[in-house]
Amino acid sequence: MQQWISKLSEQEVGAILPNEPMSKYTTWKIGGPADAMIVPDTKAQLLSLIRQLREEQIPWMTIGKGSNMLVSDKGIRGAVIRLGKGFEDIRFDGSAVTAGGGASFVRLSIMAGKQGLTGLEFAAGVPGTVGGAVYMNAGAHGSDVSRIFKSADIVLETGELVTYTSEDMDFRYRHSLLHDQRGIVAEARFVLSEGDRLEIAAAMATYKDRRRKTQPLQQPCAGSVFRNPPGDYAARLIESAGLKGRSVGGAEVSTLHANFIVNTGQATAENVLELMEIIKATILSEYDIVLVPEVFFVGER
């Protein structure tokens, strides 16, 4: 065991899992081992962990549901932080809702609908955690997090606990302040509106059914691989370029949705990266459009 892991095990920072395979935590089912996965259960543990890692100068990153992340075959050096059960609480107070950063975004939307609160229907088809949704300004069906976000308690990489409001967060398309200022969403607050339970349930059912019919959810994948370019759709461009079904090793452009890359069984991160480069080069050559990845590559190259 590395010395810094031994030191952390003497502190109150949560569960520590040395040499943990990351393929267990990504929806692509790809990824080598992290030096250590650490699972804090409280804000106090999370603050202590970040301060200890800073003091030891250990690199770290966070993971939620692993739904927009490609992890290197060689794994991740340093610590991977995954929020524990203590960060999954969801509380309602009238039309306001407070959710832990580790709570399921889909579960949050379902609970809001049962409360007769509208504004989170789009989240019914957005896998991931509340913290990840805030980080990415996740969205679908014409809405996104920025429209309902009120504030969040965030642990910065300096070890400070701050509260940022919507005005602080610099929300843009699939972007937030946390892309530029590292931090972990410990808890977020949203403001919803009262609505009709039946209408909310119907909308969510429609979104869920559309997702089931148009996305390859029966295979390991990571959602949309590329952002939609202005005025167009990445899937349309990829399909028009004849790339559906194109494969590298075990990675394949889905024949159901062209902006998805699926793991057909034995795909490696390098397979996925090579296929992404083929897609980007083809779209640039044929349409003079630069596709920007929506998924993040992390780990050792």
Q: Position 269: which residue type?
A: A
Answer whether 234's CB lies under 8 Å from 227's CB.
Answer: yes
Longest pairwise C-alpha distance within the chain: 57
Q: DSSP state, 267?
A: -
> Active-site residues: which are they?
174, 224, 294
**What is the C-alpha to C-alpha distance for residues 147 and 116, in angstroms, rounded to an integer?**
18
Q: DSSP state, 129?
A: B
Residue 71: which H helix or E strand, with range?
Answer: strand 69-71
Residue 20: which H helix or E strand, with range?
Answer: strand 15-21
Answer whether 34's CB lies under 8 Å from 75's CB.
Answer: yes
